[in-house]
């Protein structure tokens, strides 16, 4: 992309995307398939900005034996276009592993392998993305009293640049969540940093780890640290009695279906809440049953053999954490008796979840034109477009951050292929108009607009 400096009048893109994780990679693929189909004048001009220097999907948690929580058939394309050349199966074929994968009889690939697939797919559309480019702000471009375009300010090694769009697709993903008042440090980690930090411990003979949380990431951290550091004790701290299994049974799994999004969207608020309560255990604070069994088996073996280094401090809470240069002291309080246990550890890992990145935070004054519901949450239409005041005429679409409107699939991969197809249809269906009010070719570039 050519560099456009603040003050210059930038060319107008039909669509700009913020973030290039799986959601917006899938968006780019849907656009490139559309453009290849229609060609020339009807092609949509689009570009994406990603702050990371290269494609990366939760790299800090690419534990070598961790598997996907979703069928490989829910890849970036298959549910939308089973004939796509961007599918996981095409990836396998290109790597010469298709037959081996089939013989494996497994729907849930390693996360490392799925990452490689995502990277492969992202590379096929890399003319549409600028890596190492962080979007730092969005500003309205007003024409005849209406917001006609959005100016997206992007920071990179080359400084700041402004890019103009008719539509934005925000796919900025999740942010690691620490408990209130706890700061990350050299010995206090969020699980998202695990693999980036753990190598530095090699050769230091760590004697104890504390892992806080009872979800999938917490259990994976416990198993990984226990395996990697055979001399160290690993203490799992959580307020539950024990890990709860993820419900991945067939009927419950339908909550991730495209049709479930329709139903959730149409349901009254109390039904939405009930559905989340009933089926939260398909995704939240739950662990794969195989991993639960492995951990229990390990704990029992250690009991039999007499060297117990896997400990579970259940019905407990970590109430204090103090880092010193060579240790970290964790205070664990029993929720039953109130008794406090001090644990000196090499590292405390908080596997305390993620929250959606605030999509509205980036929008600056544009956010004033976005409508809210009674609870102050941003209103999102079925096509993932934020409901706006009539004079905000640009499309602002959300990939993620729509759990309150579209349900449990919002931050997940399950529905990504379908969702990007719906966003594409919405963008195509806008009946965009030129400055003179005439319908215009979608890919038309307008170079002179006033604020
Ligand atoms: C360890 C882990 C395992 C998971 N496994 C599964 C699974 O098996 N199945 C499943 O369905 N879901 C899983 N998830 C859920 C996860 O949210 C999705 O897999 C997926 O990451 C969603 O893709 P996304 O593109 O919406 O968000 P992300 O993958 O988070 O990507 C967002 C991207 O936006 C970039 N970005 C953010 N802000 C800016 C900005 N201002 N400017 C430029 N770039 C920006 C980020 O750098 C990032 O690359 C997992 C999550 C974690 C943490």
Q: Please state, in angstroms and rounded to a whole number, the distance separating the CA atoms of residues 174 and 353.
A: 9
Report how far ligand 1's centroid is from the alpha carbon of 345 (Å): 30
The β-bridge partners of 110 are: 67
Nearest CA to ligand 1 atom 29: 21
Structure tokens that stand for 141 in this block: 């471009």
Closest ligand 1 atom to 24 CA: 25
Structure tokens that stand for 325 in this block: 């240069």
pLDDT tens over the chain, length 451 residues? 545 555 667 889 999 999 999 999 999 999 999 999 998 888 999 999 999 999 999 999 999 999 999 999 999 999 999 999 999 999 999 999 999 999 999 999 999 999 999 999 999 999 999 999 999 999 999 999 999 999 999 999 999 999 999 999 999 999 999 999 999 999 999 999 999 999 999 999 999 999 999 999 999 999 999 999 999 999 999 999 999 999 999 999 999 999 999 999 999 999 999 999 999 999 889 999 999 999 999 999 999 999 999 999 999 999 999 999 899 999 999 999 999 999 999 999 999 999 988 878 899 999 999 999 999 999 999 999 999 999 999 999 999 999 999 999 999 999 999 999 999 999 999 844 433 333 333 333 322 222 2
Structure tokens that stand for 354 in this block: 């993620």
Q: Please state, in angstroms and rounded to a whole number, the distance separating the CA atoms of residues 430 and 435.
A: 15
Q: Helices 416-428 and 22-38 meet at what angle, rounded to 10? A: 50
On whether the CB atoms of residues 16 and 168 are closer than 8 A, the answer is yes
Dihedrals phi, psi of 93, to nearest 5 degrees: -65, -40
Best mutation site among 16, 17, 21 for ligand 1 pocket (most ligand atoms within 8 Å of CB): 21
Q: For residue 130, give Cα distances in angstroms to 44, 50, 99, 396, 448.
A: 17, 6, 35, 20, 24
Best mutation site among 173, 349, 358, 418 for ligand 1 pocket (most ligand atoms within 8 Å of CB): 173
Nearest CA to ligand 1 atom 27: 173
Closest ligand 1 atom to 171 CA: 26
The dihedral sign for the CA sequence 50, 55, 58, 59: negative
Report how far ligand 1's centroid is from the alpha carbon of 68 (Å): 14
Report how far ligand 1's centroid is from the alpha carbon of 137 (Å): 20
Helix extents (H) in 110-243: 111-124, 194-198, 216-228
Nearest CA to ligand 1 atom 52: 58
**DSSP for 120-152?**
HHHHHTGGGEEET-EEEEEEEEEETTEEEEEEE
Q: Please state, in angstroms and rounded to a whole number, the distance separating the CA atoms of residues 158 and 196.
A: 27
67 lines ligand 1 (CB under 6 A): no
């Amino acid at each position: 992309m050519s560099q456009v400096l603040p003050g210059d009048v930038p060319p107008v893109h039909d669509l700009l995307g913020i973030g290039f994780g799986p959601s917006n990679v899938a968006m780019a693929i849907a656009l490139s398939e559309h453009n290849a189909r229609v060609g020339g004048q009807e092609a949509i001009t689009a570009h994406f900005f990603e702050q990371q220097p290269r494609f990366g999907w939760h790299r800090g948690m690419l534990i070598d034996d961790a598997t996907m929580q979703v069928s490989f058939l829910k890849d970036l394309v298959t549910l939308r276009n089973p004939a796509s050349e961007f599918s996981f199966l095409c990836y396998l074929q290109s790597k010469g592993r298709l037959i081996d994968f089939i013989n494996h009889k497994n729907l849930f690939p390693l996360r490392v392998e799925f990452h490689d697939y995502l990277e492969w797919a992202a590379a096929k559309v890399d003319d549409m993305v600028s890596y190492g480019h962080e979007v730092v702000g969005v500003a309205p471009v007003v024409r005849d009293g209406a917001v006609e375009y959005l100016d997206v300010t992007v920071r990179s090694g080359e400084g700041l640049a402004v890019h103009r769009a008719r539509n934005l697709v925000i796919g900025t993903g999740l942010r690691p969540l620490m408990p209130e008042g706890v700061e990350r440090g050299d010995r206090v980690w969020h699980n998202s940093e695990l693999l980036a930090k753990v190598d530095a411990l090699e050769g230091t003979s760590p004697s104890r780890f504390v892992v806080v949380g009872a979800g999938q990431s917490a259990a994976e951290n416990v198993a990984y640290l226990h395996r990697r550091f055979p001399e160290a004790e690993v203490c799992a701290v959580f307020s539950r009695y024990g890990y709860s299994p993820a419900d991945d049974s067939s009927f419950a799994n339908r909550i991730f279906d495209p049709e479930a999004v329709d139903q959730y969207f149409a349901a009254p608020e109390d039904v939405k809440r009930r559905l989340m309560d009933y089926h939260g255990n398909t995704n939240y604070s739950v662990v794969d049953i195989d991993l639960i069994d492995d951990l229990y088996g390990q704990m029992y073996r250690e009991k039999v053999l007499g060297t117990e280094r896997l400990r579970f401090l259940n019905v407990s809470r970590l109430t204090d954490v103090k880092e010193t240069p060579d240790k970290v002291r964790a205070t664990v309080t029993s929720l039953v008796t109130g008794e406090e246990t001090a644990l000196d550890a090499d590292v405390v890992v908080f596997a305390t979840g993620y929250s959606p990145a605030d999509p509205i935070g980036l929008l600056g004054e544009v956010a004033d034109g976005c409508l809210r519901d009674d609870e102050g949450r941003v209103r999102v239409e079925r096509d993932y477009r934020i409901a706006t005041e009539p004079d905000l005429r640009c499309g602002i679409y959300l990939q993620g951050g729509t759990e309150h409107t579209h349900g449990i699939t919002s931050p997940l991969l399950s529905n990504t292929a379908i969702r990007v197809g719906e966003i594409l249809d919405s963008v195509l269906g806008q009946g965009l108009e030129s400055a003179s009010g005439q319908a215009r070719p979608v890919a038309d570039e307008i170079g002179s607009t006033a604020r």
